[in-house]
Structure 1
Amino acid sequence: MRIWFQSTVEIDSYHAYRQALLTHFSATAPGVEVHLAGVPGGTWAGLANSQVMNMPYAYHRILSNTLFEQLRLAEREGYDAFVLGSFTEPWLRELRSMTDMPVVSTAEAAVHLALSVSQKFGLVTMNTENEWFQRINMAARGLQDRIAGYYVVRPEATELEINRIFEDARGYIDRFTAVARQAIADGADAIIPSEGLVATVMAVNGLRSIDDVPVVDPIAGSVLMAEMLAKMHRATGLMPGRRWHYVKTPAHIMDHMDRMRQG
């Protein structure tokens, strides 16, 4: 089983996050080969993702070619599933329309898990930019009645700042826990650390529950869901519905687009 995990950070410069992810993959998905990829160095012009994500054209234009080409590379190299490791879920619909290989979103996987263990869950993230994206994405799924609320750990942080927290995460975990307790008071019976770096900080530091409320692990959850969907694809042929939302681009159109891009 080979799974491609696609982050949207410049992973080669996020040394602490990269090592934490690799360690967590090994611990939670033994026997699965997980290839961790990021975006090329310089993609974000020296900024963090969340400093660009509120600019719709820039965010999607910057990510589009990288994500599409990484998926095609994963498919050519024979991977069994592709994980979109971003809670903003950029181009998720388009990626699923490109391939029969399962494409799993960390955000969607976390929500499926939370719905399996709670009536209502809370999403706790690192800044208001991520919070806004998650409100939009969850509303699109019609989940308002299952969400206790959206919460931001203060002071807010960027991805670059969270990367440095891995060295000593105790203070951040304490602040995360305090915010999660507010979500619990508002009716949440599960907590989702709703951003990749935040989720990884909680997972590798063993934060699995707060006051008898489970803390969902989106990283392990997305990899294990990808493994399950890959097995379902092999065994039963399960793939995205092609009639409406995920209509697949035929090979001759893909070839045509490649020729156009090459000039």
Structure 2
Amino acid sequence: MSQDSAKGAMRIWYQSFIAPEEQRPYFERLQARLDLLKRPGTAVEIHGVTPPDRHFHALTEFRCADQCIRNALRAQSEGYDAFLIGHFQEPGLREIRGALEIPVIGLGEACMLWACSMGLKFGLVTINPAFLAWHDLQVAGHGLERRCAGVRAITADVGRFMAAFTDPAERDAMRADFVAQVQPLVAAGADVLIPAGGLPMLLLAELQPFLVDGAAVMEGLGVALKTAEMAVDMHRLTGVAAGRSGFYARASDGAIADFLAPRT
């Protein structure tokens, strides 16, 4: 164990699916929020993808996942202690966790699992109806169908969120849209509400505590970051980042080399 590890210092690679230059207001606010939440000794470094995830389609998610996997392998080679996928849909999570020896945290998975410790059922509110089916599959993939009261959607795109970060009127309008969507989820039994995305999480983060008819709106960025910090602690304690007997079986060096090989 290094001297820095013994003192609790750690470096976390936060992988956004947004482009740093095109969406700078988001990146600056996100870095400030993570710096506020992190514990002493933790360094969180945000990285994006180019072009950003802006077309809300499975093909775009697949393209961004490719960049995400490559960045994850780079993060490990550069000595980061954990890789955090800061995109709720978390495409590439299985492949990355199977390829890395350091902890890999998915924003969606971390938030849904934490919600199960806060209440009996949770509900998701995604940023656009295009993601409704994706989240249904995501919930099922994590085996949480019986804990999910449903998935709802506001109608927004990246541009609307960028405006909301600087325009109080647009921010208030999006908050009202969110509340309108969560009320049916509360009626269906949700006692924890999750904004399904880094963009809405950041937009609503400063409203904490945030309750709608008694149901708690999760501060998901804090959940993901604290999960990553705990995962690093446990990795240092046990030397194990993931089980390797099945779903997250370790990728061979050859499989990784083939993935990183130049493409023609």
Same topology, TM > 0.5: yes
Any residues of structure 2 matched to 1:1-263 within 5 Å, and which?
1-31=10-40, 32-40=42-50, 43-44=51-52, 49-54=53-58, 56=59, 58-60=60-62, 62-153=63-154, 156-167=155-166, 168=168, 169-206=171-208, 208-255=210-257, 257-258=259-260, 260-261=261-262
Q: Distance in 1 between matches of 2:98 and 2:162?
A: 32
Gaps of 5+ in 1: none
Cα shift readout 1:229-259 (whole Å, capped 9, x = no counterpart): 111000112321112111212334434554x
Cα displacement (A) at 1:178: 2.4
**CA 1:233–1:170 in structure 2 vs 1: closer, same or farther (change >3 Å)?**
same
State the AA in 2 paired with 1:177: V
Q: Secondary structure at the match of 1:123?
A: strand
Q: Distance in 1 between matches of 2:152 and 2:56?
A: 20
Q: Distance in 1 between matches of 2:150 and 2:255?
A: 43
Q: Distance in 1 between matches of 2:15 and 2:79?
A: 15
Q: Distance in 1 between matches of 2:36 and 2:201?
A: 15
**CA 1:126–1:19 in structure 2 vs 1: closer, same or farther (change >3 Å)?**
same
State the structure with bigger RCO (CA 8 A, min sep 6), 1 or 2. Answer: 1
Cα shift readout 1:118-160 (whole Å, capped 9, x = no counterpart): 101111112111222111110222322211111112xx11122
**CA 1:236–1:164 in structure 2 vs 1: closer, same or farther (change >3 Å)?**
same
Cα displacement (A) at 1:179: 1.9
Q: Secondary structure at the match of 1:246?
A: coil
Runs of 4+ that moved beyond 4 A: none
CA contact (8 A) 2:123 2:193 kept: yes
CA contact (8 A) 2:86 2:106 kept: yes
**CA 1:183–1:65 in structure 2 vs 1: closer, same or farther (change >3 Å)?**
closer
**CA 1:145–1:51 in structure 2 vs 1: closer, same or farther (change >3 Å)?**
same
State the AA in 2 paired with 1:215: V
Q: Distance in 2 between matches of 1:256 and 1:137?
A: 28
Cα shift readout 1:143-188 (whole Å, capped 9, x = no counterpart): 22211111112xx111222121112211211221222222112211
CA contact (8 A) 1:12 1:38 kept: no
State the AA in 2 paired with 1:53: H
State the AA in 1 paired with 2:44: V
Q: Distance in 1 between matches of 2:152 and 2:119?
A: 18
Q: Distance in 2 between matches of 1:204 and 1:213?
A: 17
State the AA in 2 paired with 1:121: F
Identity %: 28
| Worse overlay, 244-253 or 91-100 | 244-253
Q: Distance in 2 between matches of 1:218 and 1:33?
A: 18
Cα displacement (A) at 1:52: 4.3
CA contact (8 A) 2:192 2:218 kept: yes
